[in-house]
Chains A and B, each alone.
Chain A
Amino acid sequence: MMAQPIAASKEPEAATPALDVSGLSVEFPSRRGTLLAIDDVSMQIAPGEILGVVGESGAGKSITGLAVLGLLESPGRISGGAIHVGGRRVDTLSEKELTKVRGREMGAIFQDPLTALNPLFTVGKQLVETIRLHSGMSKEAANDRALALLQSVGIPAPRERLRQYPHQFSGGMRQRVVIALALAAGPRLIIADEPTTALDVSIQAQITALLRKLCDETGVGIMLVTHDMGVIAETADRVCVMYSGRVVESGPVAEVIHNPQHPYTKGLMAAIPSLHDRVETLAQIDGSMPRLNARPTGCAFHPRCPYAGPKCSAATPPLVSVGVTRSACWLLQGGTQ
């Protein structure tokens, strides 16, 4: 179906990850002290890989995505660590330089496709403008590429669709347009923040299948931020579980889902009702995620953790390898005493 490759011929060196985040911290200064939203988060995404970032509301997963894109809203700021996209450091760039990198090197897909598109311009105009801005193509060449992009994201009758306005598209089709826009400049990395949350399940399945396909075909790395473990299970290669601003567990998706190590991941997996068998009561994690201004000392999960010991409230556990996954829990690192 696809005649021409969508990614620009920008063959990444095999060793360079699409995204390399190391020791990232994000803080929000406020009148009542500085709130640490992201605390020492590291993650890598290889080209052609989908990394799922999962967590409940307030875990810091969206902030991580925004920090990578350089879209943190003031007063939020990066207070530590480094972000490399395709081998280039982006967190130290000026706003002007960042504008060039954003779109060309990294694209973004957000939850609500209607607000991501300009309602006053046709989809074709928005696509052509984006392509020309980043590649300097002629109008005709950009038009052809826009057509190819719409085709590759599975929009039927793309020639007619180019002349239509966003309101003439359904929710699922709009999200496809946003994906086409994100791909327009052939980026190395796409940050997809809850891309299917506003869509119905049957449409959600189409969009996740599309992301998977594009990832395989173009070699773009995708950071899939979601609260839905089901979407992660169906789409991602690896997963990072976040809790209260830190990564508590990361590893291959099947391993984290079927054999979770961290007590939070265990609780989270057990709390999801099963499609296959019915239990009388679901396992529940009592309490809720701590607020940023009231984060417990030590491991932030310890007040809700059934296995917590004295060490858990005293010191923050580092993320270390436990079998094939990495996990941040004192219990897995030789006791909690």
Chain B
Amino acid sequence: MTAYVPALTVDGVSKVFDVSAPWLNRVIERRPKLFVEAVSEVSFTVETGTCFSIVGESGCGKSTVARLVTGLYKTTRGDISFGTGATGRPIRVQMIFQDPHSSVNPRWRVGDIIAEPIREMKLRDTEKETMARVRELLETVGLGADDAQKFPHEFSGGQRQRISIARALASEPELLVCDEPTSALDVSVQAQILNLMRRLQDELGLTYLFISHDLSVVRHMSDHIAVMYLGRIVEQAPVEQLFTAPQHPYSKLLLATIPDIQNPKRRVEAQAGEPPSPLNPPSGCAFHPRCPIAMEKCSKVMPELLHAPGHAKVSCHAVAEV
């Protein structure tokens, strides 16, 4: 018996990008090197078989976290570790991207696109078995086995997203990192893809790391949510708790501004302010210039992500003091 290890553990991960001007410009214009910390000290764990979502506005670092987890970026600081899969090896990770038009090769037949990971990782012995697996995958995601012969341009956006899901499943992953998988799709098609992803989770026991800016989609999909603001997690809570009792002022702002179809908050004065530039983050808590309950301390000391009532963790001085 080994100790239980969650599917994914992200521990104090930071990512710094060098956004300096070219070398010659720096010398001539006497400009210093410029760094931006896109993700700072982010920690969370994802339990096997659950869906963990990261939400936030553009530029908050949520997609960078997805790319760090899949190894597309290297971490600057911190550790990312994976649990063990069914056969004792570390779990496999795959990624689904936002834009189904640019994430599949237009010159390859769909069958080859899906077969590539199988061939590359030698998951099947013969070509015949590989193609049988491709047909099986196509049927799993709701396409026809004959579609393997077609090219991506013959499919609509929703069908192409099904192809990229089939390709992601081809390497038999246990953890799927989904970066805005439905943001490029229409609502009626979005529902098809979300239903498919939920069904696959039940059937294959998948674990999801789900990145989205759409809170209603996140609510539908996830068990646990982390809200990011300017590279940091400001609140982390089980889904029901975050939606019924958000604690961080930014989570409250997000929930208050999202358009609500069932009972629209018409004519409510919107809260002013915009997210600051990550190049020049405010001192202390990054949210303090927009925060309605900011105190003097907020502009000086960065709040830590502390346990709050319920199973939440909140990074806010005002919440910590209560």
Contact = CB atoms under 8 A, between A and B. Distances in A.
Contacts of B190: 271
A285 B188 contact: yes
A229 B265 CA distance: 14
Given A229-B187, A275-B215, A288 B261 contact: no
Interface string B188-203: 1111101100110000
A209 B274 contact: no
Contacts of B272: 154, 206
B264 A284 contact: no
B186 A276 contact: no
Contact of A56 (B186, B199, B275): B186
Contacts of A93: none
B299 to A, nearest CB: 20
Contacts of A286: 192
Contact of B270 (A206, A271, A289): A206
B194 A200 contact: no
Interface residues of B, number: 46
Interface stretch (B6-14, B71-79, B250-258): B250-258
A206 to B, nearest CB: 4
A278 to B, nearest CB: 6
A268 interface: yes
A288 B257 contact: no
B261 A230 contact: yes
Interface in A142-159: 154
Contacts of A269: 261
A264 to B, nearest CB: 9
Given A200-B275, A234-B260, A271 B188 contact: yes
Contacts of A234: 259-260, 264-266
B187 A275 contact: no
Contact of B220 (A57, A205, A282): A282
Contact of B191 (A204, A205, A233, A284): A284
Nearest to A203: B274
B219 A273 contact: yes
A275 B243 contact: yes
Interface string B165-205: 00000000000000000000011111110110011000000
B58 A284 contact: no
Contact of A200 (B158, B192, B213): B213
Task: Name the residue among B157, B186, B265, B275 with the largest chain A CB count within 10 angstroms.
Answer: B186
A221 B29 CA distance: 50
Nearest to A257: B261
A231 interface: yes
A222 B147 CA distance: 44
B274 A172 contact: yes
A30 interface: no
A315 interface: no
A17 to B, nearest CB: 23
Contacts, number: 132
Given A56-B186, A274-B262, A275-B262, A201 B257 contact: yes
B187 A202 contact: no
B220 A227 contact: no
A74 interface: no
A228 interface: yes
B187 A230 contact: no
Task: Name the residue among B159, B190, B216, B257 with the largest chain A CB count within 10 angstroms.
Answer: B257
A200 B188 contact: no
Interface in A199-234: 200-206, 208-209, 212, 227-231, 233-234
A8 interface: no
A201 B57 contact: yes
B266 A200 contact: no
Contacts of B258: 201, 230, 275
B267 interface: yes
B220 A284 contact: no
A284 B257 contact: no
Given A205-B270, A209-B270, A284-B191, A200 B58 contact: yes
A204 B257 contact: yes
A170 interface: yes
Contact of B187 (A56, A235, A278): A56
B296 interface: no
Nearest to A230: B259
Contact of B186 (A154, A203, A227): A227
Nearest to B218: A273
Contact of A233 (B188, B189, B199, B264): B264
B192 A275 contact: no
B149 interface: no
Nearest to A235: B266
B269 interface: yes
B169 to A, nearest CB: 19
B223 to A, nearest CB: 11
21 contacts: A200-B57, A201-B57, A202-B273, A209-B268, A228-B259, A234-B259, A234-B260, A234-B264, A234-B266, A271-B187, A272-B261, A273-B191, A273-B194, A274-B216, A274-B262, A275-B243, A275-B260, A278-B219, A285-B192, A288-B158, A289-B186
Given A56-B187, A274-B216, A282-B220, 8 more contacts: A201-B254, A201-B259, A205-B256, A230-B260, A234-B260, A288-B156, A288-B157, A288-B188
The 4 A-B residue pairs with the shortest CB-CB distance, nearest first, are A230-B259, A271-B191, A56-B186, A273-B220
